[in-house]
Amino acid sequence: MENQKTLFDKIWDAHIVKEVPGERHVLYIDRHFIHEVTSPQAFAGLVERGLPLYRKEKIIATADHNIPTKNQHLPITEPLSRKQVDTLTQNCLNFDIPLYGMGHDKQGIVHVIGPEQGITKPGMTIVCGDSHTSTHGAFGSIAFGIGTSQVEQVMASQSLILDKPKTMRITVDGQLGDGVTAKDVILYIISKLTTSGGTGYFVEYAGEAIRSLSMEARMTICNMSIEMGARGGMIAPDDITYTYINGREHAPSEEVWDEAIAYWSTLYSDEGAQFDKEYQYQAEEIPPMITFGTNPGMGIPINAKVPELKDDKALNYMGLKSGEYLVGKKVQHVFIGSCTNARIEDLREVANFVKGKHRAADIKVMIVPGSKAVESQARAEGLDKVFVSAGFELRSPGCSACLGMNEDKIPSGEYCVSTSNRNFEGRQGQGARTLLASPLTAAATAIYGKIVDVRKYLN
């Protein structure tokens, strides 16, 4: 069949400025998100070279990684963190960039606020100095993480020189069982592909189970594409996407809405399009998942035993033994937050489960909304009261304990069931032991003080 293209190809080809000898392309970047950790050296580089910021209207900034999640109205106490956040503020002032910083009513984690404000839209190329930029692919865009040098390149030219990745399609058909969520789906997929199985590929997720997901659930899936090494992940837009975008602050205006939909409706992989690799999974076979080791690929069904590994390093670090069950294991902390799972639907799911219940005595539970807008919505729905009654500590938005760059660290040797995206050694603090799971599993763990199969406790 002639000219059958994948969704990825359609968007990539529409953004080529120039082909560079040696197989690279100069790709135009529609939206550039920045935050305080990966931008300072880029701004400094621009100033050193005497280059102007090429397209200030295409940059959006937030402070999320290095900020406290308590007392955000006070100056940051840690001097290096304060300096880094102040540097972003100053750079945004100097270069006239909108900053959703601390104190702004729309501040939040970069990959939460982009979609929430309607900035992320189908058909775009989107970058950020952060590997979870893949989140925005849920809207049918090519979104990926870049290094600080590339941040500087986009600031200088609104373009990047890139090699084109290969394409992969991961199809999940069927229907998810009760208690099984998007987070379990992506943990399942990564456990099958490993942390390098997607390297060199850009993934498209398809199939009945994917189509049936809400936008927030789709974002959870795309968010963790990087954890299998993929450059990014995307889902073709549809009515669910358009409904989500409609009416948001930066959504296309009413006058052009129909035109926008007409264009977005062309964004799908053609029937005969060829992918370099394909995988198929059946939703009914996916159970609630949990990780046991020190990379996101080390995930198992909640009821399974810790497997044998070819070397002891990961299990020694985690204080676990092959052959043991994770169900029933006491943990000291639960963290509900991060760009993977801190949107309003995640908070509603947790609130629904814990309503009328209280956390177990020996467990500390922290819940960090992904943005001020999510926090306001949660308060408006009374979810904050549910969390407080359950003995959860409700914080202010930020990346928080996902990477423990601020004070929200897990102490050495202690276990944390976390709705975040990485369980590397020391990720949540030196010696911290992270077990990745869905918000539902995390909520159930919080109540029972130990790892449980949430399906046993659903109505």
Partner 1 sequence: MEPINTLTSTAIPLPIEDVDTDQIIPARFLKAVTKQGFGDNLFRDWRFDTNDQPISDFVLNNPTYKGEVLVAGKNFGCGSSREHAAWALGGYGFRVLISSFFADIFKGNVLNNGILPIVVSDQELNQIFLMIESDPSTQFVLNLELQTLQVNDLIVRFDIDQYKKQCLLKGQDDIDYLVSLKSEIEAFESKQVLY
Strands 24-28 and 16-20: antiparallel
**Smallest Cα–Cα separation from 148: which of 162, 128, 164, 133?**
128
Mapped onto helix, strand or coil, the DSSP state of residue 62 is strand
Strands 24-28 and 159-163: antiparallel
Binding mask 206-225 toward partner 1 (x if CB under 8 A, else -) reads --------------------
The structure tokens listed for 394 are 């409700």
Is there binding between residue 316 and partner 1 (CB under 8 A)?
Answer: no
Task: Out of 115, 140, 145, 301, name the contact with partner 1 by CB under 8 A.
Answer: 145
- Which span sits near partner 1 by CB under 8 A: 257-265, 325-333, 380-388, 441-449? 257-265
Count of residues interacting with partner 1 (CB under 8 A): 75
Task: Out of 124, 235, 236, 451, name the contact with partner 1 by CB under 8 A.
Answer: 124
Binding mask 62-81 toward partner 1 (x if CB under 8 A, else -) reads ---xx-----------x-xx
C-alpha–C-alpha distance, residues 301 and 452, integer Å: 11
Q: Going edge to edge, which strands form the sheet with 277-282? A: 232-234, 201-206, 166-173, 277-282
Cβ nearer to partner 1, comparing 263 with 325: 263
Is there binding between residue 249 and partner 1 (CB under 8 A)?
Answer: no
Is there binding between residue 101 and partner 1 (CB under 8 A)?
Answer: no
Task: Out of 77, 149, 280, 352, name the contact with partner 1 by CB under 8 A.
Answer: 149
Length of the chain counted residue by residue: 459
The structure tokens listed for 363 are 């467990």
Cβ nearer to partner 1, comparing 202 with 353: 202
DSSP H helical segments within 50-120, as ranges? 79-95, 110-116
What is the greatest pairwise CA distance in the chain? 64
Is there binding between residue 376 and partner 1 (CB under 8 A)?
Answer: no
Is there binding between residue 430 and partner 1 (CB under 8 A)?
Answer: yes
As measured in angstroms, the least distance from the Cβ of 317 to partner 1 is 11
Is there binding between residue 252 and partner 1 (CB under 8 A)?
Answer: yes
C-alpha–C-alpha distance, residues 93 and 280, integer Å: 48
Task: Out of 60, 143, 206, 405, name the contact with partner 1 by CB under 8 A.
Answer: 405
C-beta of residue 232 within 8 angstroms of C-beta of residue 144: yes
Is there binding between residue 18 and partner 1 (CB under 8 A)?
Answer: yes
Strands 166-173 and 201-206: parallel
Cβ nearer to partner 1, comparing 200 with 391: 200
Could you give the C-alpha distances from 447 to 306, 383, 391, in angstroms and in order?
23, 16, 10
Residues 384-403 interacting with partner 1 (rule: CB under 8 A): 403
As measured in angstroms, the least distance from the Cβ of 35 to partner 1 is 11
Is there binding between residue 263 and partner 1 (CB under 8 A)?
Answer: yes
As measured in angstroms, the least distance from the Cβ of 18 to partner 1 is 6
As measured in angstroms, the least distance from the Cβ of 409 to partner 1 is 9
Cβ nearer to partner 1, comparing 2 with 254: 254
User: Residue 122 burial by CB count (10 A; 0-12/13-18/19+): exposed, middle or buried?
Assistant: buried
Those residues whose C-beta lies under 8 Å from the C-beta of residue 158, and which sit 6 or more positions away, are 28, 29, 32, 54, 55, 58
Amino acid in position 312: D
Task: Out of 4, 96, 147, 247, name the contact with partner 1 by CB under 8 A.
Answer: 147
Strands (E), 305-405: 333-336, 364-367, 393-394
Is there binding between residue 41 and partner 1 (CB under 8 A)?
Answer: yes
The structure tokens listed for 100 are 């959703």
As measured in angstroms, the least distance from the Cβ of 173 to partner 1 is 28
CA 326 to chain centre: 25
Is there binding between residue 200 and partner 1 (CB under 8 A)?
Answer: yes
C-beta of residue 231 within 8 angstroms of C-beta of residue 147: no
Is there binding between residue 431 and partner 1 (CB under 8 A)?
Answer: yes
Task: Out of 395, 427, 433, 450, name the contact with partner 1 by CB under 8 A.
Answer: 427
Cβ nearer to partner 1, comparing 31 with 359: 31
